[in-house]
Amino acid sequence: MELDRLITFFSTNPSAKLLRANQAAYIVYFLNQHFKTDGNLATPHTELLQSLKGFLEHIHETDPEVLRDNAETYLSQWSTGETRWLRRYYDSQHADSVFQLTPHSEDVLKFLTDVTDHSLGFVGTESRFTRILETLSDIVIRGSADRERRLSYLQAERDRIEEEIQSIESGEIVSTHSSTAIRERFSDVISDLISLQGDFRAVEESFKSITRDVQKQQSEAVDSRGQILGSALAAEDRLKDEDQGASFQAFFKM
């Protein structure tokens, strides 16, 4: 890490600004409660406004000095270009504007979820180590076009499966995960799902950036329609060729 980059990050990045915000704990708690705990991927303005009003009324019962502005002011502040903790947009399904988390706030929620999980003393060491070994094995096996290596791997897997089938058919005790192992794996799945939402949001933002560029070119009327379309398709192709875009395309084809 370079000092100049860290200084720039903490002074300009919306994720860092959220972590450093006054009363950040209350803001993060509300965003996590509404969008994660309650399972709202996107929320119309009126509904989110009522939810925030209820939250403010609740905390003011015990601490009236916290978040003293009105709910509408906070929604406006949190969705501006300066903070970008919420994205506000319009779609054909709602008469009202709609809010959703941005990749910046997704990153903060994931980071704090990971940190608080560690502070609570639950770290899925065994399950994570197993996943590391499985991933490394997958890289070795599927990262090579060596036919003999692939056949050897598949034959070993076949033998292992047949041995387990015979063991079960002969009446031997079926091995299962311990309760701790199940908890570890379940915790990992939840963490991955949270990360996946953030990944989708980041890819979505990239495509929306292409849309904004096209709209800007149209409004400026500098290029022809053919040139604008060509630029948009070229930008989309570049995104698909990047690791982030390629990974998303692979997931979409599953």
pLDDT in tens, 21-47: 989 999 999 999 999 889 898 999 999
What pTM was estimated for this model as a whole? 0.59
Residue 67 backbone zone (phi > 0: left; psi -120 to 50: alpha; other: beta): left
Question: Which pLDDT value is given to residue 142?
Answer: 84
Which pLDDT belongs to residue 69? 95
pLDDT value of position 128: 72
The domain spans of the chain are 3-102, 125-175, 181-254
Phi and psi at 50, nearest 5°, equal: -65, -40
User: So what's the pLDDT on residue 216?
Assistant: 64
> Residue 65 has what pLDDT?
92
Answer whether residue 181 shows pLDDT above 80.
no
Q: Largest Cα–Cα distance in the chain?
A: 76
Average pLDDT over residues 160-172: 91
> Residue 30's pLDDT is what?
97
- The confidence score (pLDDT) of residue 120 equals 46
What band does 85 get if pLDDT is binned at 50, 70 and 90?
very high
Mean pLDDT of 150-166: 92
Q: Which CATH architecture has domain 3-102?
A: Orthogonal Bundle (1.10)
| Contact (CB, 8 A) for 190 and 110 | no
For the stretch 44-71, pLDDT in tens is: 999 999 999 999 999 999 999 999 999 9
- Indicate the length of the chain as a whole number: 254
Query: Tens digit of pLDDT for each residue in 107-130?
Result: 999 889 878 765 445 556 667 777
